[in-house]
Amino acid sequence: MNVREASEKDFNEIWPIFHEVVSIGETYAYARDTTKSEALDIWVTTPRKTFVVEEHGRILGTYYIKTNQAGPGSHVCNCGYMVASKARAKGLATAMCEHSQHIAKDLGYKAMQYNLVASTNKGAIKLWTKLGFETVGTLPNAFNHPTKGYVNALIMYKYI
């Protein structure tokens, strides 16, 4: 497993992962019908950096890192992680989360914040908690789940 920085030419391999995750609508606050060009902007162009995880030359996961708030909030970063369904439960999310914390430190951030973790996303909450993230807030009914309706969303935070 190899984590490396992505370039725009990786996007043809990133897009199926993004589309698979986002079209289901259970985890990310992006429109389920986000187009490929919108996704390029969201995942690669707008963030500060984007990374991919490769195995045998195939991209199986990806994450971005960006500044969460400007000015007086700019020492806190935000990341998003996605893993291809065929590559789940192989430790890719853990590898990316740990990698992103090193990158965040290198970039001078002091903390990392996840802004909207659906309370139904038990696997992610368990994993981020294990990796040292604290649930610092609960947003009532802030996530519109495709089958469960409005569910709470957590804000998770870690000093890095």
Counting contacts by CB under 8 A, is residue 131 touching a copy of itself?
no
Collapse the DSSP code of 53 into the 3-class scheme (helix H, G, I; strand E, B; otherwise coil) and give the result. strand
Q: How far apart are CA 1 and CA 64, in angstroms?
A: 18
Could you list the beta-strand ranges (E) of the chain. 2-5, 49-55, 58-67, 76-83, 111-118, 134-145, 149-159
List Cα–Cα distances, 27 to 57, 70, 103, 142, in angstroms. Answer: 27, 25, 23, 12
Q: Closest approach of Cβ 2 to a copy of itself, in Å?
A: 31
Contact letters for a copy of itself, residues 45-74 (x by CB under 8 A): ------------------------xxxxxx
Q: Restricting to residues 18-47, name those near a copy of itself by CB under 8 A.
A: 22, 25-26, 28-32, 34
Alpha helices (H) in the chain, listed in sequence order: 11-24, 36-40, 92-106, 122-130
Q: Which is nearer to a copy of itself, 4 or 110 (CB)?
A: 110
Q: How far apart are CA 28 and CA 143, in angstroms?
A: 9
Contact letters for a copy of itself, residues 82-121 (x by CB under 8 A): ----------------------------xx-x-xx-x---
Q: Which is nearer to a copy of itself, 22 or 96 (CB)?
A: 22
Binding residues for a copy of itself, per CB under 8 A?
22, 25-26, 28-32, 34, 69-76, 110-111, 113, 115-116, 118, 136-146, 150, 153, 155, 157, 159
